[in-house]
């Protein structure tokens, strides 16, 4: 949690009063987010238990801070010149920082505190002999050199705080049955049973559509209050233009998968475990790699096996199937998510509002599921997304 300033409540919720300030409705309605059909909506089910917090405005804001880089990428070709272009990470450099180029095997020292991507340096530092540096060279940033009598010089640097935000979304989905029909015996049972069956059916629909919202929702707002429509952004919107987005190209090999994990590990060397939410098709591909290496006995009565954890370079990856990724496009999707940097935000938790209109107001009984929800996705670089892992 050290990479961003974000406080998240890590307790499961569900108690308290309903939206009308009474306890007439079931106070544990929200718990059904993870107790009903959890396998169908794994993201919603897990994060409704792990990371919820209260929203207090229609716009959810948070501050992010990326770690200070220890390596930077050279943006220009340089032979013995004294000017280097460092497009990203130049703010971490201070006077007398030493830059080591592992490809060229020589050094340069930073001469002035950079305020732009143009960094003034001295080549042939540390008794090296400068050779040509090329665009894309990785430069290791070593500590600044200090003199023996240096007591009043302080070299400080930090990354710029980044602002992230999302919008809350009001969700209202309900059922309707006539009061006469509710009193009748039906195929589903006696009085009231049909209405209960409709409520359960609607809850399953609400959960699946909320799950889809968290994946592919688009952040937007239209209209003027109070007739304002707000939509929350989903994970695809945050990650598709991110630093760890990858197009597998239709055919995912084991080496390609390990490369995808390796890119995440390179960018997050402190990571030891991550959840991979993916289509069942992706899990089948991973299983096939292991299946080809297993010998079966002639006495075996069961063939095949399921792998739900994969390890690579010290990174333990939990494979979590997302049943909703089942169409020709999304069956090639996979996401690496850091659970500590995602939080759901509720202004009003999911509640079932029974008979909203009330007797005398309508000959229909309207039962309404209602919630006001959003999501925070901190530190985009702690997550990854890949597409087209089809075969």
Tens of pLDDT, residue by residue, the chain (391 residues): 334 333 222 223 333 333 333 333 344 556 656 555 567 899 998 888 876 789 999 999 988 877 788 999 999 988 777 899 999 889 889 999 999 999 999 999 999 989 899 999 999 999 999 899 999 999 999 999 888 888 777 888 777 778 899 999 999 999 999 999 999 998 878 999 999 999 999 999 999 999 999 999 999 999 999 999 999 999 999 999 988 999 999 999 999 999 999 999 998 999 999 999 999 999 999 989 987 676 666 666 665 556 789 999 999 999 999 999 999 999 999 999 999 999 999 999 999 999 999 888 899 999 999 999 999 999 999 999 999 999 9
Domains, the chain, with CATH or none = 4-65+163-295+304-387 (3.90.1690), 71-142 (2.40.30)
pLDDT at 194: 93
pTM of structure: 0.80
CB atoms within 10 A of CB 77: 13
């Amino acid at each position: 949690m050290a990479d961003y300033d974000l406080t998240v409540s890590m307790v499961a919720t569900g108690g308290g009063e309903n939206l009308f300030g009474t306890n007439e409705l079931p106070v544990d309605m929200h718990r059904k987010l993870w107790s009903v059909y959890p396998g169908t909506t794994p993201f919603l089910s897990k994060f409704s238990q792990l990371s919820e917090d209260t929203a207090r405005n229609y716009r959810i804001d948070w501050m992010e801070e990326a770690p200070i880089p220890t390596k930077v990428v050279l943006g220009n070709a340089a032979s013995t010149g004294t000017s280097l272009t460092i497009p990203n990470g130049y703010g971490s450099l201070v006077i007398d920082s030493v830059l080591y180029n592992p490809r060229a095997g020589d050094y340069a020292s930073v001469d002035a505190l950079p305020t732009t991507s143009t960094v003034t340096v001295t080549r042939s530092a540390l008794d090296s002999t400068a050779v040509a540096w090329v665009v894309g060279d990785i430069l290791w940033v070593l500590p600044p050199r200090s003199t023996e009598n240096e007591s009043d010089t302080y070299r400080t640097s930090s990354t710029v705080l980044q602002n992230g935000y999302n919008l809350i979304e009001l969700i209202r989905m309900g059922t309707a049955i006539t009061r006469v029909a509710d009193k009748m015996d039906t195929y589903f049972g006696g009085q009231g049973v049909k209405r209960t069956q409709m409520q359960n059916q609607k809850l399953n629909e609400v959960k699946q559509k909320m799950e889809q919202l968290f994946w592919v929702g688009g952040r937007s707002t239209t209209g003027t209050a109070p007739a304002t429509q707000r939509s929350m952004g989903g994970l695809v919107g945050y990650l598709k233009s991110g630093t760890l987005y990858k197009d597998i190209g239709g055919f995912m090999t084991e080496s390609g998968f390990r490369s995808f994990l390796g890119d995440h590990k390179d960018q997050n060397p402190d990571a030891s475990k991550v959840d991979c939410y993916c289509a069942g098709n992706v899990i089948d591909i991973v299983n096939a790699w292991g299946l080809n290496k297993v010998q079966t006995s002639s006495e075996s009565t069961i063939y095949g096996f399921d792998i739900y954890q994969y390890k690579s370079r010290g990174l333990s990856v939990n494979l979590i199937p997302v049943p909703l990724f089942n169409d020709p496009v999304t069956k090639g999707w996979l996401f690496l998510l850091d659970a500590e940097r995602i939080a759901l935000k509720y202004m009003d938790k999911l509640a079932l509002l029974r008979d909203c209109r009330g007797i005398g107001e309508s000959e229909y009984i309207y039962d309404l599921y209602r919630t006001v929800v959003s999501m925070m996705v901190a530190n985009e670089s702690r997550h990854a997304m890949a597409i087209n892992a089809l075969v």
